[in-house]
Structure 1
């Protein structure tokens, strides 16, 4: 027996134990033997293993609890395209006022003559739409929204997609481009519902212009100058177009503002009109030419 330890008394005493040190038996016996050095080491190892297992179990339970809590509270949600608020608060250029105050829905009165008088404006509430609810359209190299489409304006403007800022529109497809940090140019087509403030194409164009000139896009609004505000015809259908210079007082950008063009067309439906919106920087020759060409290339599907 080479392993040291306590063993039953070889002398035969009942309940007695004698220690074997690997070479000889001890002279004393005991009825309560202590663990031998080897047994102690084994016990220590077992204790360490138990402690490690306990720690691992605590960590696993903690992680499981965190995951369950995150699931129950909606944590770790995927990043999604941000949705617009239920309404857009815009400015109404048609009613000068000393300071912005709440106002009912707009009463647009389009005029074909340019008007360059800067005005202070009161807020209007733009109706709710669903720009991200896109209908099925042909995959033919054109950008489709509502019953309108235009040829893709090129890779510099990115792939077509919804423009959620047009929150009063439906079925929107747009191409956008940053022209400088904090400033954007884009082209979009979609449709608007025939409702209060949008009863006729002229009304819908004016109301849409006022909704575009909202504090999010033109927070430093200075003036609106209409360079075109008149009846429009596309593929035999009647509509209305407004093109306006929207100037801002924003020292952080290099341009004076944007040329905003909105065209609303009666496409033959009783509950919807189709619409086109373009926004390009004032004084930017190539982009303004692109806006004119895109308007000319519109067609009713």
Structure 2
């Protein structure tokens, strides 16, 4: 039996470790590496955009199977799918209804970011994004587009660290996605007009309504937050187009 400690997350969350208590996996996760001191009361100044294909619940499955240690010849910890995990505390630590002032021009504004959809959109329920603040949710026929802010802390410290942290919130039980997120590739730097830096990762969404999810976290130069864009699109062409336009038109500023 492996000793209690932090191991690579068996749920597949890149950049995160999960606590093994000596008998089974716990719901406690942390970014890989030694936590850095908090930056006082500042908020992370990056904008995050999330495009969701389907609204619903996505879960991560874990087991009580012990991690295989190098001494036992097993390498990284492994787990068999048996049940859903609970979301870490930071996944409910945002203030989604707290909004900055933006122009009413038909564009989506949040977290120091601006984007649009190719057609009309209707406002969605911002409480579906409890890990963020300054949230706007745009609903189209086949896609959900989220633009928001991530407050600065040890989890949302930079775009590189924030992407896997947002991924964890969407893998746990949540009201935004349905099905299971499967990475479509590694996270990579991307260009966002007017931004200092940005990190993106794409996912396949499997389940009763398959689709595609993209997470983009942006350092837009905000002194207290990072920007977030999340897009969720179903398999229908209209959903993919709405997500593609939201990503292509994303920029820092208003």
Shorter-chain-normalised TM-score: which range? Answer: 0.5 to 0.7
- How many angstroms apart in 2 are the aligned matches of 1:196 and 1:162? 27
Match of 2:128 among 155, 160, 165: 165
Corresponding position of 2:26: 102
- Tell me, yes or no, if the aligned pair for 1:108 and 1:206 is still in contact at 8 Å: no
Corresponding position of 2:137: 174
* Higher relative contact order (CA closer than 8 Å, sequence separation 6+): 2
TM-score when normalising by structure 1: 0.54
- Aligned residues between the structures: 188
Answering whether residue 182 of structure 2 is matched by residue 224 of structure 1, we say yes
- How many angstroms apart in 1 are the aligned matches of 2:232 and 2:181? 16
Residues 121-169 of structure 1, C-alpha deviation per residue, up to 9 Å, x if partnerless? 45433250111111110122211111111124433x42x3552111011
Answering whether residue 232 of structure 2 is matched by residue 279 of structure 1, we say yes
Greater percentage in helix: 1
- Tell me, yes or no, if the aligned pair for 1:105 and 1:197 is still in contact at 8 Å: no
Corresponding position of 1:93: 12
- How many angstroms apart in 2 are the aligned matches of 1:246 and 1:232? 22
- How many angstroms apart in 2 are the aligned matches of 1:223 and 1:296? 22
- How many angstroms apart in 2 are the aligned matches of 1:287 and 1:100? 40
Answering whether residue 228 of structure 2 is matched by residue 269 of structure 1, we say no
Match of 2:198 among 235, 239, 251: 239
Aligned-pair CA distance for 1:193: 0.8
Match of 2:242 among 290, 294, 299: 290
Corresponding position of 1:14: none
- Tell me, yes or no, if the aligned pair for 2:204 and 2:212 is still in contact at 8 Å: yes
Answering whether residue 94 of structure 2 is matched by residue 129 of structure 1, we say yes
TM-score when normalising by structure 2: 0.63
CA 1:223/1:206 → structure 2, altered by over 3 Å: closer, same or farther? closer
Q: What are the ranges of 5 or more consecutive residues in structure 1 without an aligned counterpart?
A: 1-90, 110-118, 180-184
CA 1:178/1:100 → structure 2, altered by over 3 Å: closer, same or farther? farther
Aligned-pair CA distance for 1:202: 1.3
- Bigger mean CA offset, 207-216 vs 185-194: 207-216
Aligned-pair CA distance for 1:230: 0.4
- Tell me, yes or no, if the aligned pair for 1:96 and 1:120 is still in contact at 8 Å: no
Corresponding position of 2:156: 198
- Tell me, yes or no, if the aligned pair for 1:194 and 1:272 is still in contact at 8 Å: yes
Helix, strand or coil at the partner of 1:164: helix
Q: What are the ranges of 5 or more consecutive residues in structure 2 without an aligned counterpart?
A: 1-9, 34-59, 63-84
CA 1:133/1:284 → structure 2, altered by over 3 Å: closer, same or farther? same
- How many angstroms apart in 2 are the aligned matches of 1:97 and 1:285? 41
Match of 2:167 among 190, 195, 209: 209
- How many angstroms apart in 1 are the aligned matches of 2:176 and 2:130? 16
Aligned-pair CA distance for 1:231: 0.9
- How many angstroms apart in 1 are the aligned matches of 2:158 and 2:211? 25
The root-mean-square deviation of aligned C-alpha atoms, in Å, is 3.1
CA 1:224/1:171 → structure 2, altered by over 3 Å: closer, same or farther? same
